[in-house]
Chain A
Amino acid sequence: MNNILEINHLTKTFGGLNAVSDVNMYIEKGELVGLIGPNGAGKTTVFNLITGVYRPNEGSILFDGKSIGGLSPHRICREGIARTFQNIRLFKNLTALDNVKIAFHKEVNYSLLSAVFRTNRFYQGEDQIEQKALELLEIFQLGDKRNELASNLPYGEQRRLEIARALATDPKLLILDEPAAGMNPQETNALTELIHWVRGQFNLSVLLIEHDMSLVMGLCERLYVLNYGQILASGLPEEIRNNPKVIEAYLGEEVTKVVSGS
Chain B
Amino acid sequence: MLNFIQQLINGLSLGAIYALIALGYTMVYGIIKLINFAHGDIMMVGAYVGFFSITLLGTNVWVAMLFAMLTCAVLGIIIEKVAYKPLRNSTRIAALITAIGVSFFLEYIMVFLLGATQRVYPADAFPTQTYHFSGLLMTNKDIFVIASAVFLMIILQLFIKKTRTGKAMRAVSLDQDAASLMGINVNHIISVTFAIGSALAAAAGVMYGVFYGTINPLMGMVPGIKAFVAAVLGGIGIIPGAMAGGFLLGILETMVSGYGNSLFRDAAAYGVLILILLIKPTGLFGEKSGEKI
A and B touch in the complex (CB under 8 A): yes
Residues of chain A at interface, number, CB under 8 A: 6
A89-120: CB near B (< 8 Å → 1, else 0) gives 10000000000000000000000000000000
Chain B contacts for A86, CB-based, 8 A: 293
Chain B contacts for A44, CB-based, 8 A: 293
How far does the Cβ of B142 sit from chain A's closest Cβ, in whole Å?
Answer: 42
A-B pairs under 8 A by CB, number: 6
A85–B293 Cα distance when bound, in Å, is 8
**Interface presence of A188 (CB below 8 A):** no
Nearest opposing residue in chain B for A45, CB measure: B293
A68–B186 Cα distance when bound, in Å, is 45
A18–B293 Cα distance when bound, in Å, is 18
Chain A contacts for B293, CB-based, 8 A: 44, 48, 53, 85-86, 89
A92–B293 Cα distance when bound, in Å, is 16
Chain B contacts for A85, CB-based, 8 A: 293
A44–B291 Cα distance when bound, in Å, is 13
A86–B293 Cα distance when bound, in Å, is 8
By secondary structure, the B interface counts as loop
**Interface, chain A (partner B; CB < 8 A):** 44, 48, 53, 85-86, 89
B260-293: CB near A (< 8 Å → 1, else 0) gives 0000000000000000000000000000000001
Nearest opposing residue in chain B for A14, CB measure: B290
A48–B293 Cα distance when bound, in Å, is 8
A48–B291 Cα distance when bound, in Å, is 12
Nearest opposing residue in chain B for A85, CB measure: B293
List 6 interface pairs A-B (beta carbons < 8 Å), by A numbering: A44-B293, A48-B293, A53-B293, A85-B293, A86-B293, A89-B293
How far does the Cβ of A54 sit from chain B's closest Cβ, in whole Å?
Answer: 8
How far does the Cβ of A90 sit from chain B's closest Cβ, in whole Å?
Answer: 14
Chain B contacts for A53, CB-based, 8 A: 293
A87–B293 Cα distance when bound, in Å, is 8
A53–B293 Cα distance when bound, in Å, is 9
Chain B contacts for A48, CB-based, 8 A: 293
How far does the Cβ of B177 sit from chain A's closest Cβ, in whole Å?
Answer: 15
How far does the Cβ of A51 sit from chain B's closest Cβ, in whole Å?
Answer: 9
Nearest opposing residue in chain B for A51, CB measure: B293
Nearest opposing residue in chain B for A44, CB measure: B293
How far does the Cβ of B180 sit from chain A's closest Cβ, in whole Å?
Answer: 21
How far does the Cβ of A177 sit from chain B's closest Cβ, in whole Å?
Answer: 9
Nearest opposing residue in chain A for B291, CB measure: A53
A89–B293 Cα distance when bound, in Å, is 9
Chain B contacts for A89, CB-based, 8 A: 293
A44–B293 Cα distance when bound, in Å, is 8
How far does the Cβ of B97 sit from chain A's closest Cβ, in whole Å?
Answer: 17
A160–B293 Cα distance when bound, in Å, is 19
A157–B293 Cα distance when bound, in Å, is 21
